[in-house]
Structure 1
């Protein structure tokens, strides 16, 4: 009869999965606008860059709003009724001023919940009062198929 002795087994604790953070999936090379920019300029740049909106910064670089395609529709409708083929309205007239932001160290799952709760398409990402990026709904959707089920 053969006896086997393996000794005391040490069970290594499972490593905690690294959190999936906003900073890992946000866009950092941003198109931005100024409050005094015209809607014509915004529409032109949104179309060229194939984006649907962007942060608005004042001359000091402080976030003062967000302008989106939906905001630009207001000026387009106004142009239709006044029969003007250009859209001279300014970003300041049409931008969303009460902007909700995220921090770069927020979990991507918490960010996803904020998208659901607030029904908006983009969040500026702020760190120490400075704009450091933007997380769009598309960024979140693109991130999840890349993750392995073991990281959830």
Structure 2
């Protein structure tokens, strides 16, 4: 799956010339914590809720309310925004976007094509994709097994599941770092837990977890 298939295209933006107070109001109205900054159709930065909070005077300030209001009324997004924005292409794969977000400890990625903002992908979008990948919204038997990392392991169990008249709605493969084996996670419908256990044992898979969810 690629980014253009999961990104949001109705992105709430702001320009660098807007006031910080306007950015804050836009965040509150649209229930977001970050705003891409776009000038003349091009992404030039990003401003976050934390950026706005840092710009506000501390409780220890000697300024009076009118002085604070005056200063805030002159503060523009350009003075607060992060200019070196980490972005992603709409044709990038979602797992690479997830890696970028994890490695850089960021919660969203503006999606840019030829310098223009075309969308945004957030950690919530990836969490939603994660639930789909694991079939979390469908009832069935969930099995987690450890197998040797060699060709044919997946085909062996999927063939037996098919023979039993069951349907695999999710299959995820990851490395089991402890001993360099593979960890297979399945979600299956049309089968009961007892039959699934029998299939896994016949395939000589080590059952780590098996339950109906």
Coarse TM-score class (shorter-chain normalised): 0.7 to 0.9
1:118 aligns with 2:126: no
Higher relative contact order (CA 8 A, sep 6+): 1
**Runs of at least 4 residues of structure 1 off by over 2 A?**
77-83, 85-88, 147-152
Measure, in 2, the Cα distance between the counterparts of 1:142 and 1:28.
16
| 1:1-150 pair list within 5 angstroms | 20-58=1-39, 60-77=40-57, 81=61, 82-83=63-64, 84-85=68-69, 87-88=72-73, 89-147=75-133, 148=135, 149-150=170-171
Structure (1 or 2) with the greater strand fraction? 2
Q: TM-score, normalised by structure 2?
A: 0.57
Measure, in 2, the Cα distance between the counterparts of 1:121 and 1:40.
23
Q: TM-score, normalised by structure 1?
A: 0.79
Bigger Rg over Cα:
2
Q: 1:57–1:78: structure 2 CA closer, same or farther, 3 Å change rule?
A: farther
Deviations 1:21-78 (A, max 9, x none): 11111110011111111111111110111001111011x2111100110111122236
Unmatched 5+ stretches in structure 1:
1-19
Q: 1:80–1:50: structure 2 CA closer, same or farther, 3 Å change rule?
A: farther
RMSD (CA atoms): 2.0
Deviations 1:85-122 (A, max 9, x none): 47321100000000111011111111111111001121
